Amino acid sequence: MTALLTIIIVLFVAVALWQMVKIFDLAQVGTTNTQVADDHDNKINGYLMIGFLVFIYVITILCFWYIGDLPLLSNAASEHGAEVDNLMIISMVVIFIVQTITQFLLHYFAYKYKGEKGRKALFYADNNTLEFIWTIIPVIVLAGLIIYGLFTWNDIMNVDEDDDPMVIELYAQQFKWTARYSGNDNVLGKANVRLIDIDRANVLGVDEDDPNAQDDVVVSELHLPVGKQVVFKMRSQDVLHSAYMPHFRAQMNCVPGMVTQFAFTPTVTTEEMRQNPDIVEKVQHINELRKDRMAEIEESGQELRYEFDYLLLCNKICGTSHYNMQMKIIVETQEEFDAWMKEQTTFPNSLN
Amino acid sequence: MSAILDTHDHEDHDVHHHKETFVTKYIFSQDHKMIAKQYLVTGTIMGVIGVLMSIMFRMQIAWPEEPNVLFEALLGKWAPDGVMDADVYLALVTIHGTIMVFFVLTAGLSGTFSNLLIPLQIGARDMASGFLNMVSYWLFFISCVIMICSLFVEAGPAAAGWTIYPPLSALPMASGGSGLGMTLWLVSMAIFIASSLLGSLNYIVTVINLRTKGMSMTRLPLTIWAFFVTAVIGVVSFPVLLSAALLLIMDRSFGTSFFLSDIFIQGEVLHYQGGSPVLFEHLFWFLGHPEVYIVILPAMGLVSEIMASSSRKPIFGYRAMIASILAIAFLSTIVWGHHMFISGMNPFLGSVFTFTTLLIAIPSAVKAFNWITTLWKGNLQMNPAMLFSIGFVSTFITGGLTGIILGDSALDINVHDTYFVIAHFHLVMGISALYGMFAGIYHWYPKMFGRMLNKNLGYLHFWITAVCAYGVFFPMHFIGMAGLPRRYYTNSNFPLFDDLANTNVIITIFAIIGGIAQIIYLYNFFISMFYGKKAEQNPWKSTTLEWTTPVEHIHGNWPGAIPHVYRWSYDYSKPGHDVDFVPQNVPLMEGEEELQH
């Protein structure tokens, strides 16, 4: 912090000094300086344009090199995630190519055609063929991306009830997530915020008389069996929240007054993901960084050692503690899941 | 198409001998040039506040929960011992967004240049209604004052994000800023919208009715096309935001349930039933999306004009440029749903909006290629305005390309509301529009103040800003793709994101340097007003009509008759002429063909 402040102060002083010098420049009204660019300015700024092109390329390469190694980007843990990643990579390649070429043309032309006294520009106002070409190329490329994108989108959003997905409710409130499993009948009991009874620990407002609610299970940690499609029915009791599960390429807003849904099939268990070389490397790196901040982390009550876990984050501004609204997600084998589920209390038994 | 003659077009009409007091000249002025300057100065002040806020919250992200003297000095009780409060963080991002989008890039940009250039470039003595124009500015001023006042209320200003989605924005129990702070926000915005509508109507009427003789629509400079279409978009979409704001006020103060339903908060069930926050999102983005084009189109117009003038070449594909402005304007009103792919609306709607959204890339691509071709074989005069114009095209491409990802519903799922979005829209509409505005200021400063801006300070300003803009927003794409959500007060509760902390520090350092660089500009701006080199009548050797007016401002713009127009505004380096520009008011030579008409 002190270092930063020093930097700022030094910068301020530098700028101030420089400006003091400049005021004389400004005061010299009536000299030959017209404040219109001359050949000298054109030349310098032309070269700087090339310099800037290099800067753009360098910052692109640096970003890919240092922070572009995105283990999260290439290790989707859900079935549809692979498809999303594929589309993402194709889009990125298209973007990368277009960006490289157009930035080159822009800055190179700015350098190449920098003004010189006496030269006359080419009077070139129109060319229908050229304009047709650069209308039609984006059309073709975009048509491809749109078609691919829409197929993927439909695939993700259309939940086929015949596949008998496991129904889980995700319940959002300031600033906490709760999950409700639908139990053996795979049907959630009816619920409404008007039925919330804090004294009886009915925090989700589940209808106690609904037969479907009798085997529901309310938990604060999300367990998912691997390879089984899950459909999340989402509710919120107060403001908008967004259930964001980046590893599964899943996100949906939780809207008070309505039930939204999102479905996916987890494909990699938490254990497996922890063994993934990319993730191992990432975790190691994070732990090294955390060692440097040891005192601070211990003070905050967090565990010093970071271990990989899937997470559910809130990704829609929801108030003061928005930044800390999270829930752990554990993907495990069907047997582990069944064993865990057996230990949980059903909804009627959880009431006071 | 024949333009309608200005009724003031009489040489004996001695318009500039009105008696002017300080108040009528500088405060309640009805002269479009003075109103333009008022917009610019007010917008600049708001901009300084907005940028300062962004530097504060960037510091919080880089050095979370560390004491900071800047916070202690500026935030007072909201930063006990210099540590920023989480609510204040949200308030800062909210007000930063509101100020930059509406007060700087809508009013500051459009208000300044539409007012300055529409009458001057079409050859009119003033706006169609000088009085409405004055009212428009003063409404804007009042809305600024109210917005600033909201920063000082007891429970803090609005803190629900600049999109003010209910229920968070509707319930004071949900967020401290949703009490009086939000009321003031809504009142301020309602007044702002009234101001914007008055301005837009004036621009539309002026462009349609007051063009000088010979100034057909196909001879208009692209600036005017851009301002005109922008005003149309504003008139179409701003009223929808006004209705959203009014309904939200009803929900908040009169117990209606337009946007609220089934809410349990702080131990009690509220009475609201049957409303839907998704409805608000539709209404908000029905303006919110066109709004980004309201911001970017004027910048595009300014850049087109400056690029042609500084390249000493006609703008390439004049008609295609107009067509793409119109296409963008039309498409901009049917793409709003791409902000809502995961809002819970029907996925089929998501498909439709993906389709329309990606279509908008086509006219945008045409524009970008046409700008690049305008440079080709030009004789580029690297004035600061030209540098900012080139910078505009650069950031517009960089930021625009990632729109392909965000507009694609399947991909949006995973990057929605992450830093990827922040990077995208800051580059494509924030930085780009700001560059457009700077370009316009450097170019038309001589017209506004009769003096030149110092070019060396301009160069320094541009290059530091250009490097910092990329330094701030380019890495943000990557931390966004790593899954980092926006609007988090601190990321320290997520060890998952620990490896992004250093990048955040780098971003913040770039932001601080970039912010400081703006001091150079402010210095140049205010000092040159008094000490700058006196401007010539046509310093950039441009063809448009504003440079045929005298340097000293007079009421009515031209001392004599309004010039007639004989050609389009892009006769630069036209073969057969000795000079490399032929102003619009120069009649065609014998045998000379007009290229466009």
pLDDT in tens, B84-98: 999 999 999 999 999
The verdict on a CB contact (< 8 Å) between A23 and B362 is no
Is residue A78 over pLDDT 80? yes
User: CB neighbours (10 Å) of residue A321?
Assistant: 15
Report helix, strand or coil for B485: strand
Q: Give me the residue from B161, B343, B361 closest to A253, CB to CB.
A: B343
pLDDT, tens digit (0-9, with 9 covering 90-100), for B452-461: 999 999 999 9
Using pLDDT thresholds of 50, 70 and 90, give the confidence band for residue A50: very high
Please state at what angle helix B86-98 crosses helix B32-62, rounded to 10 degrees.
150
Angle at A264 between CA A260 and CA A266, to 5 degrees: 140
Mean pLDDT of the B70-96 span? 91
As given in the structure block, the two tokens for residue B50 are: 């907005």
User: Which residues of chain A neighbour B314 with C-beta distances below 8 Å?
Assistant: 123-125
User: CB neighbours (10 Å) of residue B129?
Assistant: 16
Query: How much is the pLDDT for B5?
Result: 42
For residue A332, which phi and psi values (nearest 5 degrees)? -145, 175
Please state, in angstroms and rounded to a whole number, the distance separating the CA atoms of residues A102 and A112: 15
User: CB neighbours (10 Å) of residue A3?
Assistant: 7
Q: Is A27 exposed, middle or buried (0-12, 13-18, 19+ CB in 10 A)?
A: exposed
The verdict on a CB contact (< 8 Å) between B380 and A113 is yes
For residue A180, which phi and psi values (nearest 5 degrees)? -130, 120
Report the length, in residues, of chain A. Answer: 352
Alpha helices by DSSP H, B402-453: 403-406, 409-415, 419-425, 432-449
Mean pLDDT of the B367-377 span? 95
Query: How much is the pLDDT for A169?
Result: 96
Please give the full DSSP string across B283-305, using - where no structure is assigned: HHHHHHHHHHHHHHHHHHHHHHH
Q: Which of A264, A317, A320 is most worth mutating to test chain B (most B CB atoms within 10 A of its CB)?
A: A317
Nearest CA in chain A to B314: A125
Nearest CA in chain A to B378: A121
Please state, in angstroms and rounded to a whole number, the distance separating the CA atoms of residues B97 and B108: 14
Which has the closest alpha carbon to B6: B128, B137, B165, B152? B128
Query: How much is the pLDDT for A72?
Result: 57
Displacement of CA A186 from its chain's centroid (Å): 31
Please give the full DSSP string across B153-215, using - where no structure is assigned: STT-S--STTTT-TTTTT-TTT-GGGTHHHHHHHHHHHHHHHHHHHHHHHHHHHHHH-PPTT-
User: Which residues of chain A neighbour B371 with C-beta distances below 8 Å?
Assistant: 106
Please state, in angstroms and rounded to a whole number, the distance separating the CA atoms of residues B389 and B438: 9
pLDDT: is B19 or A195 the higher one? A195
Is residue B11 over pLDDT 90? no
Using pLDDT thresholds of 50, 70 and 90, give the confidence band for residue B13: very low
Domain assignment present for B25: no
Query: How much is the pLDDT for B2?
Result: 39
pLDDT, tens digit (0-9, with 9 covering 90-100), for A94-137: 999 999 999 999 999 999 999 998 888 999 888 899 999 989 99
Q: How many CA atoms lie within 13 A of B349 on its CB side?
A: 14
Scored b (16 or more CB within 10 A) or e, A158-178 reads eeeeeeebbbbbbbbbbbbbb
User: CB neighbours (10 Å) of residue A97?
Assistant: 12
Query: How much is the pLDDT for B4?
Result: 42
Q: Give me the residue from B314, B394, B456 closest to A106, CB to CB.
A: B394
Query: How much is the pLDDT for A66?
Result: 83
The Cα of A15 is separated from the nearest Cα of chain B by a number of Å equal to: 8
Is residue B543 over pLDDT 80? yes
Domain assignment present for B553: no
Query: How much is the pLDDT for A140?
Result: 93
Maximum alpha-carbon separation in chain B:
85
Residue A137's contacts (CB-CB under 8 Å, 6 or more residues apart) are none
The Cα of B408 is separated from the nearest Cα of chain A by a number of Å equal to: 6
Q: Which of A123, A203, A287, A304 is most worth mutating to test chain B (most B CB atoms within 10 A of its CB)?
A: A123
Peptide bond into B167 cis (omega under 30): yes
The verdict on a CB contact (< 8 Å) between A120 and B580 is yes
Q: Specify whether the CB–CB gap between A226 and A334 falls below 8 A.
A: yes
Task: Please give the residue range of the domain that contains residue B417.
Answer: 32-260+271-548
The verdict on a CB contact (< 8 Å) between A35 and B394 is no
Q: Is A82 on the interface with B (CB under 8 A)?
A: no
Is residue B250 over pLDDT 80? yes
pLDDT, tens digit (0-9, with 9 covering 90-100), for A248-296: 999 999 999 999 999 999 999 999 999 998 889 889 999 999 998 888 8
Is residue B327 over pLDDT 80? yes
Output DSSP code: residue B380. Answer: B
Mean pLDDT of the A322-327 span? 94
Q: Specify whether the CB–CB gap between B489 and A322 falls below 8 A.
A: yes
* Bridge partner residues of A223 (DSSP): A330
Is residue B248 over pLDDT 80? yes
As given in the structure block, the two tokens for residue B312 are: 């000493």
Domain containing residue B290: CATH number: 1.20.210.10
Is residue B12 over pLDDT 50? no
* Bridge partner residues of A311 (DSSP): A328
Is residue B3 over pLDDT 50? no
Indicate if ipTM > 0.90.
Answer: yes
Is residue A84 over pLDDT 80? yes
Query: How much is the pLDDT for A344?
Result: 93
As given in the structure block, the two tokens for residue B359 are: 């279509």
Residue B78's contacts (CB-CB under 8 Å, 6 or more residues apart) are B84, B85, B87, B88, B156
Displacement of CA B425 from its chain's centroid (Å): 12
Report helix, strand or coil for B264: strand
Tell me the pLDDT of chain B averaged across its residues. Answer: 92
Question: Residue A121: what residue type?
Answer: A
**Which secondary structure element, helix H or strand E, spans residue B36, and what is its range?**
helix B32-62
Domain assignment present for B319: yes
One-letter-per-residue 3-state SS of chain A: CHHHHHHHHHHHHHHHHHHHHHHHHHHCCCCCCCCCCCHHHHHHHHHHHHHHHHHHHHHHHHHHHHHCCCHHHHCCCEHHHHHHHHHHHHHHHHHHHHHHHHHHHHHHHHHHCECCCCCCCCCCCCCHHHHHHHHHHHHHHHHHHHHHHHHHHHHHHCCCHHHCCEEEEEEEECCEEEEEECCCCCCCCCECHHHCEHHHCECCCECCCCHHHCCCEEECCEEEECCCCEEEEEEECCCCEEEEEHHHCEEEEECCCCCEEEEECECCCHHHHHHCHHHHHHHHHHHHHHHHCHHHHHHCCCCCCCCCCEEEEECCCCCHHHHHCEEEEEEECHHHHHHHHHHCCEHHHHCC
Domain assignment present for B21: no
Nearest CA in chain A to B60: A1
pLDDT, tens digit (0-9, with 9 covering 90-100), for B90-144: 999 999 999 999 999 999 999 999 999 999 999 999 999 999 999 999 999 999 9
Query: How much is the pLDDT for B25?
Result: 81
pLDDT, tens digit (0-9, with 9 covering 90-100), for B148-168: 999 999 889 999 999 999 999
User: How many structural domains comprise chain B?
Assistant: 1
As given in the structure block, the two tokens for residue A40 are: 């000298």
Using pLDDT thresholds of 50, 70 and 90, give the confidence band for residue A26: low
Q: Give me the residue from B493, B533, B536 closest to A323, CB to CB.
A: B493
Is residue A27 over pLDDT 60? no
Question: Residue A339: what residue type?
Answer: A
Indicate the pTM of the whole model. Answer: 0.93
Query: How much is the pLDDT for B7?
Result: 43
The Cα of A342 is separated from the nearest Cα of chain B by a number of Å equal to: 30
As given in the structure block, the two tokens for residue B371 are: 């700008």
Q: Give me the residue from B390, B459, B516 closest to A11, CB to CB.
A: B516
Is residue A227 over pLDDT 70? yes
User: Which residues of chain A neighbour B455 with C-beta distances below 8 Å?
Assistant: 35-37, 41
Peptide bond into A175 cis (omega under 30): yes
Query: How much is the pLDDT for A2?
Result: 63
The Cα of B102 is separated from the nearest Cα of chain A by a number of Å equal to: 20
Angle at B499 between CA B495 and CA B502, to 5 degrees: 125
Ordered by where they begin, the domains of chain A are: 38-114+129-158 (no CATH), 161-350 (2.60.40.420)
Domain assignment present for B228: yes
Q: Which of A105, A198, A240 is most worth mutating to test chain B (most B CB atoms within 10 A of its CB)?
A: A240
Query: How much is the pLDDT for A1?
Result: 62
Integer angstrom CA distances of residue B579 from A116, A339, B543, B593, B596: 15, 87, 11, 17, 20
The verdict on a CB contact (< 8 Å) between B379 and A5 is no
Q: Specify whether the CB–CB gap between B354 and A153 falls below 8 A.
A: yes
The verdict on a CB contact (< 8 Å) between B495 and A158 is no
